[in-house]
């Protein structure tokens, strides 16, 4: 990906999902998850065909986040009620996890685990936890305030490439193994729209898309058009940037730049 003159040019659009949407996300297979302003959640494959619809979005209050990192298990998180709804690949609800029953009242970040459990970060106890389908804790770290001499507040969690990544914009990326041991801390501060895909960390900062692979020395930078700064809902992939615009969701490709 080139650096420099890209800001003077625009990125080509390679995919469009027209419609009026309140939010969206994508998975690593190219499926789109589109939340309409009428609170219908629809899943489209790469051809634009519908793969399923979930209509009961508001049952647990205002939807806080959609996590589709695992294309077979979509997590809907309702922060106000500390409730996780698990959908299958056809968008049918298969489970509801009420974190309040386990006395977890301060949780912002949730993510699917490799073994069909769910990772959460309990800020009240400052612990990364893995919970089962009933919300019971099956694994947890020690109190990380004692380990780091600081309180973490991750906004995103990722289970990728055999590790769990917890991103706190003010403190960086913290990497744990599947047993809860912290393996690394990366000082990647104030990145927006962070994603972890395989072993690559991708984000956006100061008009650039940044890509970093832990263990390497350099952060790869791609300057993007300044108008992208106006968009609040962006999803970055190695191939390009999904953007929620007034007319729908568009994929702007890095190809040719």
The mean pLDDT of 221-246, rounded to a whole number, is 89
- Stronger pLDDT, 217 or 115, i.e. the higher one: 115
Instruction: Report the pLDDT averaged over residues 16-37.
Output: 95
Which carries the bigger pLDDT value, residue 82 or residue 2?
Answer: 82
What was the pLDDT predicted at 215? 87
Position 76 in a domain: yes
> pLDDT, tens digit, for every residue of 44-88?
999 999 999 999 999 999 999 999 999 999 999 999 999 999 999
- Which CATH number does the domain housing residue 48 bear? 2.120.10.30
Q: pLDDT value at position 6?
A: 39
Q: Which of 3-7, 13-17, 141-145, 167-171 has the lowest mean pLDDT?
A: 3-7
Provide the token pair at 69: 């990192």
Within a domain: 97: yes
Chain mean pLDDT for the chain: 92
238: pLDDT strictly greater than 60: yes
Contacts 24+ apart (CB under 8 A), 178-185: 178/114, 179/139, 180/128, 180/139, 180/140, 180/141, 180/142, 181/141, 182/141, 182/144, 182/147, 184/214
- Confirm whether 172 is domain-assigned: yes
Q: Say whether pLDDT at 1 is over 50.
A: no
The SS3 assignment for 88 reads coil
Answer whether residue 188 is part of any domain. Answer: yes
> Does 254 score more than 90 pLDDT?
no
Domain assignment present for 98: yes
Residue 7 has pLDDT above 80, yes or no: no
Task: Please state the rounded mean pLDDT for residues 223-252.
Answer: 90
Pairwise CA distance, residues 106 & 114, whole Å: 23
Q: Indicate whether 256 pLDDT > 70.
A: no
* Rounded distance between C-alpha atoms, residue 126 and residue 129, angstroms: 10
13 part of a folded domain: no
Whether 146 is in a domain gets the answer yes
Of 176 and 232, the structure prediction assigns the larger pLDDT to: 176
The answer to whether position 120 is within a domain reads yes
- 3 pLDDT exceeds 50? no
Residue 9 banded pLDDT, cuts 50, 70, 90: low
Q: How confident is the model at residue 30 (pLDDT cuts 50, 70, 90)?
A: very high
- Tokens 């992939």 map to which residue? 237
Higher pLDDT, residue 257 or 216: 216
Count the Cβ atoms, other than its own, within 10 Å of residue 11: 21
pLDDT tens, position by position, 185-220: 999 999 999 999 988 999 999 989 999 998 888 999
Range of the domain at 78: 18-195
Domain count, the chain: 1
Separation between Cα atoms, residue 153 and residue 161, nearest integer Å? 23
């Amino acid at each position: 990906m080139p650096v420099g003159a890209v800001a003077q040019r625009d990125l080509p659009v390679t995919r469009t999902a027209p419609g009026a949407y309140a939010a969206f996300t994508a998975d690593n297979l190219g499926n789109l998850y589109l939340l309409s302003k009428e609170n219908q959640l629809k899943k489209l494959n790469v051809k634009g065909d519908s793969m399923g619809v979930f209509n009961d979005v508001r049952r647990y209050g205002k939807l806080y986040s959609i996590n589709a990192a695992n294309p077979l298990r979509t997590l809907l998180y309702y922060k106000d009620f500390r409730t996780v709804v698990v959908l299958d690949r056809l968008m049918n609800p298969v489970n509801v996890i009420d974190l309040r029953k386990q006395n977890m009242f301060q949780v912002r970040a949730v993510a699917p685990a490799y073994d069909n459990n769910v990772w959460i970060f309990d800020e009240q106890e400052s612990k990364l936890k893995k919970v089962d389908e009933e919300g019971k804790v099956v694994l947890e770290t020690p109190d990380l305030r004692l380990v780091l001499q600081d309180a973490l507040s991750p906004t995103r969690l990722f289970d990728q490439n055999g590790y769990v990544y917890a991103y706190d914009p003010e403190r960086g990326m913290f990497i744990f193994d599947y047993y809860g041991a912290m393996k690394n801390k990366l000082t990647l501060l104030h990145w927006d729209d962070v994603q972890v895909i395989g072993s690559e960390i991708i984000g956006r900062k100061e008009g650039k898309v940044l890509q970093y692979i832990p263990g390497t020395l350099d952060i790869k930078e791609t300057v993007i058009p300044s108008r992208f700064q106006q968009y609040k809902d962006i999803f970055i992939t190695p191939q390009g940037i999904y953007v929620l615009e007034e007319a729908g969701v568009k994929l702007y490709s890095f190809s040719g730049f």
